[in-house]
Structure formats: C-alpha cells, structure tokens
Homo-oligomer: A and B are copies of this chain.
Amino acid sequence: MRYPLSALGQKMLRLTGVREIMRDIETATAAPSARPWINLSAGNPLVVPELERLWHGIARRLPSAEFGEVIGRYGSSRGYGPFLDTLAADLNVRYGWNISPRNLLVTPGSQTLFFILINLFAGAMSDGSRRRVLLPMSPEYTGYEGVTLDADTLASTRPAVETDGAHTFRYRIDPHDLVIGEDVGALLISRPGNPTGMVIPDAALEQLAGRAAQAQVPLIVDSAYGLPYPALNRVAMRPLFDSHVVHCMSFSKAGLPGARIGVAVADEAVIEAALSFLSNMNIHAPRLGQALVAQAIHDGSLDAVCRTVVGPLYAAKAQRLQALLREHLDGLPWRLHSTDGGLFGWLWLEDLPIDDLTLYARAKAAHVFVVPGSFFFVGLRGQWRHARECLRVSLTASDADLDEGVRRLAGVIRAAYDETPQAQVA
C-alpha cells in the first residue's frame, strides 16, 4: 500500500480466518482445473426454488407506488415503516412479547449490526479503560472478530465437552460458572450456533440473560439461523427477549442474502444508540428487501416456506452428513456435534495426528474444501488440543457434492490416522 494506513485500516486489512479461507477457495477454483472442486466450506446458503419463487413473485406484484417509495426515496434510519410494523406485530403474536417499532432497527445485513453493537459496548472507553465482548461459547462465529476495531476485543471461555453416543458430542456451558469481569461490555452468542449447530437450551439462555442483567451488560443473541425465520432449528427452542437481551435477526438464510437485511430487537435505549450510529455511518439500510419481507410475513408465506421446505431441507442434509460419516469413517474416533440447527456440521476428530490446517491443505489437494476448526476459537486464551481437531462442514452442498466431498475428506482423514503421530517420531 502506497499510503500509510491508520491503525484501524491496518487491522481491517487482515481478513478474519474464514474470509481468508474464502479467498483461498475463490483463487483456487478460479484457475482452470481438470478435476472438479467440491466446496463444503459453505458461503452461500442452499438455493431453494420455493424461496426464489416467493421473493420474485412478491417483487413482481409490488405496486409501482410502493416500488417508487422503497427505491426512490431516502427513508427513516430505523427502517421501512410497514416492515417494522409487520415484524413487531408478528413477534408479539408469536412470543407474547410487547415490542413496538421503537424496539427495532434494520441494518444493511447483520454483519453491520454486529459492527455497531460490538463497537458500542466494547473497545476504548472514554476514561481510557478498555472493554471486551465475552463469548460464553467457544467455538463461535469468526465474523465477530472481523468487526472489532482492535485485536483482543473478544474474549471467550472454554465449554465442557460431553460425549454420549459413540460418534456424537455436545458442548455445554454453565452460565453460573461464567466469570463476567469489570472489563466485559457485552455477552454475545449465536443460536443456533455457527459453527457448532448447537442450540443453547432455553433455560441456559435465560440464565445467561440473568447473569447479563446482574452484570449490567447486554446479552446479544445472534439468531441468523433461528426462529422465527429462517427457522433452521431441529430441536425445540424459544427466542428470548427481555430488557437486557438484544435479539439479532437476519433474512439471508431465508433466501435474501443479496438484499442485506439485519434486524435488532432490543430495549429502546439500545436501539436509539445503535440508530444514531447507523444514521451517521450508513444513513439507512436498503429498503426494497424490507418491503418484500413485510409482505411475506404479513400473508404467512415466509413462515410456511421456512417450516415446510427450508427447515426440512437442512434437516435432511444433517442426517445425510451423519450417515456419510458413519459409512466412510467407520472404525475411527470421529464425533459430530449434535446438529440442533443451523447450516453446519461440526466434526471432532479425536487424537488426530495432524492439525486442522494440515488437514485443510490435504483436503484441498484432494479438491474438497472444508473450514479448519481452529479459526472458530476466537478470543480463547491458552492451548486446547481439541481446537486443532475440529472441522466445519457445510450443509449447503448438493447431495451429490456432499456424498463425494465426504468420501474424499474421509480418505484424507483415514490416511492421517494411519500416520505415526509426529510427536512419537521426534
């Protein structure tokens, strides 16, 4: 770079782990290749024809006046009025909440929402101290690291690892054990989790909210895969809202990633602060997608497609992944995290003789992409061998790609287990 960059500029030059992998994949797959690549690293959600028809149908029927309103006018920084009204009413009816549009804020995608929330509550304070965002769960979504202004803004805690069946496991956090220091400005958890697919149980989430209230910090819940949309939960769960919870929604997995719609549901004071931030930084979010979603919530069509098509589709993928692993990794000490919901399978390869980055490179050599697990243990201090034994496998590939991809991956894994561990060689 020919110009000196600010400290923030230099920080922002670094792509966080997963986005670095995305770039590696983009570069690799752009080159001509005789052997087709199989991408199990996610990126795009499944293309669901029912969702495409839903959104295009509504767009086609949008009256000229409303099209002109949402495309041709600046709007309120809070969001498009009919969308806010419809969403507030929908959430109140579903969950018995008592929210109004004053509890809502629409952002140009939920990544921007996390940029705003994390930087409102953490980073440099006016008195010279610093505050962090505490992730009660680790592994967690690496994109949170991408939106921090300084390295070291995220801290996380190591969960307990529970094994039940031969080939499943589950992380567990006990909110009572969580240490929320004076330097913590907010708690943040994804639910269903990325990358784990774990849905933290209702009771544990309520306990977390209680601990947040006690510590006088907000609990931010990233519900990008959760209820009510896109409803990629495969266990029962209940969204939580109270005065200390910021419930964050996305419509990307409901077929609108290109429209960029993130929503915060929160206490009015939190929304007001985030609204000013957004107003200064972005003016407001794009409006056309909001108009489409307002219609599809209002007439119930989004709910119907999510429940009857999208949810079952991912549930079938999760089962398929499990069956494939059982078939191809027979006899090896593999475990899949219980796939309570979301877009991913989270694979733990206990005592794997090579680390996850090496495994990534070897899988790439076999023309299959997965995401190395260690990237997801953001903010975790100390060494944890487990963090180098995991992989994230996306549920968004076609059945054929999932079958062939897991077959190739399993070959690489089996070969790795067959090696003498390096430690014993030395």
Which residues of A are at the interface with B, using a C-beta cutoff of 8 A?
A: 1-10, 12-16, 19, 43-44, 47, 51-52, 55-56, 59-60, 64, 67-75, 108-109, 111-112, 115, 119-126, 131, 143, 146-147, 149, 185-186, 216-218, 252, 255-260, 267, 269-270, 272-273, 276-277, 279-289
Which B residues touch A146, using CB under 8 A?
279-281
On whether A15 and B216 interact (CB within 8 A), knowing A72-B52, A120-B6, A257-B72, the answer reads no
CB-contact partner of A16 in B5, B14, B44, B280, under 8 A: B280
On whether A15 and B52 interact (CB within 8 A), knowing A6-B120, A121-B3, the answer reads no
Which B residues touch A149, using CB under 8 A?
8, 149
* Beta-carbon nearest neighbor of A63 in chain B: B56
CB-contact partner of A282 in B43, B112, B270, under 8 A: B112
* Beta-carbon nearest neighbor of A16 in chain B: B280
Assembly stoichiometry (copies): 2
- 21 examples of A-B residue contacts, CB within 8 angstroms: A1-B269, A4-B121, A6-B131, A8-B123, A10-B126, A13-B277, A16-B280, A47-B68, A51-B72, A52-B64, A52-B68, A55-B72, A56-B67, A56-B71, A71-B289, A74-B257, A74-B258, A108-B108, A108-B112, A286-B286, A286-B288
Which B residues touch A121, using CB under 8 A?
3-6, 9
* Beta-carbon nearest neighbor of A70 in chain B: B258
Which B residues touch A252, using CB under 8 A?
74
Rounded to whole Å, the gap between the CB of A283 and the closest CB of chain B is 5
Q: Which 4 A-B pairs have the closest CB atoms?
A: A146-B280, A9-B120, A12-B277, A258-B287
CA distance A180 to B286 in the complex (A): 37
CB-contact partner of A259 in B8, B124, B270, B288, under 8 A: B288
Rounded to whole Å, the gap between the CB of A363 and the closest CB of chain B is 22
Rounded to whole Å, the gap between the CB of A412 and the closest CB of chain B is 27
On whether A281 and B67 interact (CB within 8 A), knowing A72-B55, A276-B12, the answer reads no
**CB pair A73 B12 closer than 8 Å:** no
**CB pair A273 B131 closer than 8 Å:** no
**CB pair B255 A4 closer than 8 Å:** no
Which B residues touch A287, using CB under 8 A?
258-259
CB-contact partner of A122 in B6, B147, B286, under 8 A: B6
Which B residues touch A122, using CB under 8 A?
6
Which B residues touch A74, using CB under 8 A?
43-44, 252, 257-258
CA distance A299 to B283 in the complex (A): 30
CA distance A386 to B5 in the complex (A): 35
**CB pair A123 B289 closer than 8 Å:** no
Which B residues touch A147, using CB under 8 A?
280-281
